[in-house]
Amino acid sequence: MSQTMQTEPDVDQASVPLLECRGVRAGYGDITVVRELDLAAAPGSVVAVLGPNGAGKTTLLTTLAGLLKAQAGEVRIDGSPIRAGQPAAASAAGVVLVPDDRALFTTLTVEENIRAARGGRSRDALDRVFGWFPALADRRRLAAGSLSGGEQQMLAVARALVQDPRVLLVDEMSMGLAPVIVEDLMPMVRRVADDTGAVVVLVEQHVRLALEVADRGLVLVHGEVVLDRPAAELAADPDTLERAYLGEGVA
């Protein structure tokens, strides 16, 4: 008698999102700021999180980084849930946040800033990061506080990259920078995703520039995702974007 072989179904690893949020709710005490947020991002993709002031964008990033404990829902990296409100767990899973205040040690040199972020990692990591940012390599012995705004932002990203992020969270990279500087910096985000396979979640007020480098654009209004579409589609439809920002319903 022939016997039928029972085999495990093939698990297609490529179909497992690198970053996934399921019903994430976040806020402060009794206040809920982000409501039931779902998100799935494949390796090497850039997600632009857009929306008006106070929509909950930074709250979402701090929740993903484990700095704020989600009120409900789940964040998964490579399919594994990350313990909520545990920065060390998020960090061990490869989640790195570039905060909007850049969090540099202004009296330390460029190189010291990068070394401080690197922890025990190899010299190669430092060289690799300087390869990404030749302008920083040239200024490695200067105090971080003496750099221009754009260079300081580069340094903040360099400090994140030296940690080999799998999920890079970038909050308002353009804060306080002239648009022309932002235009130079933004392609770097695309390159990080393309070259390292990391997911980049980019919170940004410069909507047009963010959508130019993103794969997907998500608009948060009052903590709810009111639009979630391919970035190119959103970039080509400014009217829909504007209506979403104003809290008007979009089809």
Query: Counting contacts by CB under 6 A, is residue 196 touching ligand ATP?
Result: no
The interface mask with ligand ATP, positions 13-42, x = CB under 6 A, is ---------------x--x-x---------
Please tell me the distance from the alpha carbon of residue 176 to that of residue 134, in angstroms, as a whole number: 22
Q: How many CA atoms lie within 13 A of 48 on its CB side?
A: 30
**Quick one: which of 19, 39, 58, 204 contacts ligand ATP (CB under 6 A)?**
58
Q: Which stretch binds ligand ATP (CB under 6 A): 47-55, 82-90, 114-122, 208-216?
A: 47-55
Q: Please give the biggest Cα pair distance in the chain.
A: 81
Strand residue runs (E) in the chain: 19-28, 31-41, 46-50, 72-77, 80-81, 95-98, 167-171, 199-203, 216-221, 224-230
Binding residues among 156-195 for ligand ATP as defined by CB under 6 A: none
Residue 175 or 232 having the CB closest to ligand ATP: 175
Environment class of 211 (CB within 10 Å of its CB; exposed 0-12, middle 13-18, buried 19+) = buried
| Residue appearing with tokens 């396979």 | 197
Which residue stretch of 51-59, 133-141, 181-189, 237-245 sits at the interface with ligand ATP (rule: CB under 6 A)? 51-59
Nearer Cβ to ligand ATP, position 64 or 110? 64
* Binding stretches for ligand ATP (CB under 6 A): 28, 31, 33, 51, 53-59
